[in-house]
Amino acid sequence: NENGDIIQQLEHRISRLEGVLRLNKVITEFGGKIFATNGKRADFDATVEKCKEVGGSIATPRNPGENDAILYFVKYFNTYAYLGIKQSIIPGKFQLLNGARLSYTNWYSNEPSGKGEE
């Protein structure tokens, strides 16, 4: 039917666009989630806002695969990445931006220290 044809055309176009974005190293995917960057440096608040503007949210790794997807950009752009994590009211403890408990962490030894080497 006509709706099926339109959906198939849209899926094809989306697939092509995703391919171009992957070639340009601005998106990667893991577990059905798409991770994206514009490769530009920004402060944390601007990053959170830009993610909201495009209908997404700042990356928060919930497993090793998602962590690797974020690390892909860190290595490719030779920079750091902000995560959707903040320090809780208990010093040295961290939580999601919405206040929920972290279910996954992958800190280096003696981290996080807040010095960019977490």
47-93 pLDDT per residue, tens: 999 899 988 999 999 999 999 999 999 999 998 899 999 888 887 78
Whether residue 113 lies inside any domain: the answer is: no
Residues contacting 44, CB < 8 A, separation 6+: 82
- pTM for this structure? 0.79
On whether the CB atoms of residues 95 and 102 are closer than 8 A, the answer is yes
Phi, psi of 88 (to 5 degrees): -80, 180
105 assigned to some structural domain:
no
Q: Is position 106 within any domain?
A: no
Q: Which domain holds residue 67?
A: 2-96
| Range 99-109 average pLDDT | 89
Report the CATH number at residue 78: 3.10.100.10
Determine the pLDDT at residue 19.
Answer: 80
Pairing of strands 33-36, 27-30: antiparallel
Q: Is residue 107 part of a domain?
A: no
**Is residue 11 a part of any domain in this protein?**
yes
Q: How many domains does the chain have?
A: 1
